[in-house]
Amino acid sequence: MSGQTAADPDCIFCRIVRGELPSRRVFEDPDMIAFHDIKPIAPVHFLIIPRQHLVSLAECDEAHAPLLGRMLAKAGVLAREQGLGGGFRTIINTGRGGGQEVYHLHVHIVGGSRPLGAMLPREG
């Protein structure tokens, strides 16, 4: 599969998966882990990542559909557990143009004390 190796020794999220870097975990199972973002942009901000090193959504294909489905299916459950029963925002930044900084696929779950506004300003 393209964009995938078992692990990347230099990837910080692979290092978190292996326990070499600390994280404040909110969930883990054989497929994925979830942990709080180190620089939260809202009162609640955590990430869901696959244990396997997938670079980004751009490298995913049909073969990844079960894994991606399981990650998204966990989002609502974990969000509610973290106090986001009123709603949350789900963000997947992809590639340089998408503002991705860590090249190990991750889903941001963001929410907090007040409703979030529209995400992007309209152009023109």
Least CB distance to ligand AMP at residue 12 (A): 5
Query: Which listed residue (4, 37, 90, 112) binds ligand AMP by CB under 6 A?
Result: 37
User: With CB under 5 A as the contact rule, which of the stretches 6-14, 18-26, 72-80, 105-113 interacts with Zn ion?
Assistant: 6-14
Q: How far is the C-alpha of 93 from the C-alpha of 106, rounded, in Å? A: 8
Nearer to ligand AMP, 7 or 102 (CB): 102
Instruction: Supply φ then ψ for residue 89, to 5 degrees.
Output: -110, 140
Give the interface size with Zn ion as a residue count (CB under 5 A).
6
Question: In whole angstroms, what is the distance from residue 39 CA to residue 23 CA?
Answer: 12
Closer residue to ligand AMP (CB): 37 or 70: 37
> Which stretch of DSSP H or E encloses residue 68?
helix 65-81
Q: Which among 45, 53, 104, 106 is annotated as catalytic?
A: 106
Buried b (16+ CB within 10 A) or exposed e, 22-49: ebeebeeeeebbbbebeeeebebbbbbb
For position 90 contacting ligand AMP by CB under 6 A, the verdict is: no
Which residues lie near ligand AMP (CB under 6 A)?
12, 21, 23, 37-39, 93, 99-102
